[in-house]
Amino acid sequence: MIVDYSTFRPSMQQLHSIGVTSAGRYLGWDSCPGYQSIGKNLTAAEAAELRAAGISVFLAFEYAAEAALNGSGQGRADGELATAQLAALGAPADMTVYFAVDFDIADYAPASSDPKAKLGPAAGYFEAIRALRPAYKIGVYGGYYAVSRVLSAGLAQAGWQTIAWSGGQWDSRAVLRQLATTVMGYADMDLHIATAADFGQWPHPGTKPVVIGGPHATSDIHELAQQYKITEDQLVAWNPQLRPYVGSNKPIPVKMTIYVPG
């Protein structure tokens, strides 16, 4: 079962009891200095607890529902904050971040067939994020028209569509579908369907955790990459905690859990 929630904090036991395998959580300006905090954002401790329980994490970036209408300046600020918050979480640099268009977006160019024109200032928002050339994959969250137009304009690489503002339509390119079904009786917790095995979650599908390093370790990062038949760049993208050891031919001195193909 795939769910998402914001301020609700179910226990791992509760999540396991209903068969949750992946949980959608949040990045954004919540708890940043000068911004109101409602405890919405994912923390490093929560991320570690979820992954230790065998539950993957996928991420939306949202603070103000209509932030995308603020255009390029907001997009640049949000895109940069997403990079910083992924790093603070220790998340894979190349996972997907779904930037929210969490409202019924208007058609800004009814006479045009250009999806970018129809997005109005929201196009500038996503263009500014793309211009940053982030390591993460840019995703879009929203109703049918927001998701379909952002994807058709080439401004995002993945779509997470909500049933809201969709008029019963689903974009076949959306890898996640948020349904109208609540879970455990909480309005803050929604049921989802994935249309692809890989929807940008952490850890990546097809990986397994292994423990490496420590005082008796014998492998450096190059040897680890060879052992698991993966490039060093990909190994570090999946496991940012390995970055300090890039270029070193010494064994990893700290015991840690990393994710490798398997």
DSSP code for 244: G
What pLDDT, on a 0 to 100 scale, did the predictor assign at position 248?
86
CA atoms 173, 203, 81, 221: torsion sign? negative
What pLDDT, on a 0 to 100 scale, did the predictor assign at position 169?
97
Inside any domain, residue 200: no
What pLDDT, on a 0 to 100 scale, did the predictor assign at position 154?
98
**168 and 212 belong to one structural domain:** no
CATH number, domain containing residue 232: 3.10.350
What pLDDT, on a 0 to 100 scale, did the predictor assign at position 33?
94
Tally of domains in the chain: 2
Residues of the chain with pLDDT under 70: none
What pLDDT, on a 0 to 100 scale, did the predictor assign at position 170?
97
Inside any domain, residue 28: yes
What pLDDT, on a 0 to 100 scale, did the predictor assign at position 41?
97
What pLDDT, on a 0 to 100 scale, did the predictor assign at position 217?
87
Query: Beta-carbon neighbour count of residue 64 at 10 Å?
Result: 16
Boundary-marking domain end, from 135, 168, 194 = 194
Domain around 186: 2-194
Boundary-marking domain end, from 194, 221, 240 = 194
Structure tokens at 237: 């993208």
Q: How far apart are the first and last CA of the chain?
A: 22
Per-residue pLDDT reduced to its tens digit, 187-238: 789 999 999 999 999 999 989 889 999 988 889 999 999 999 999 998 998 8
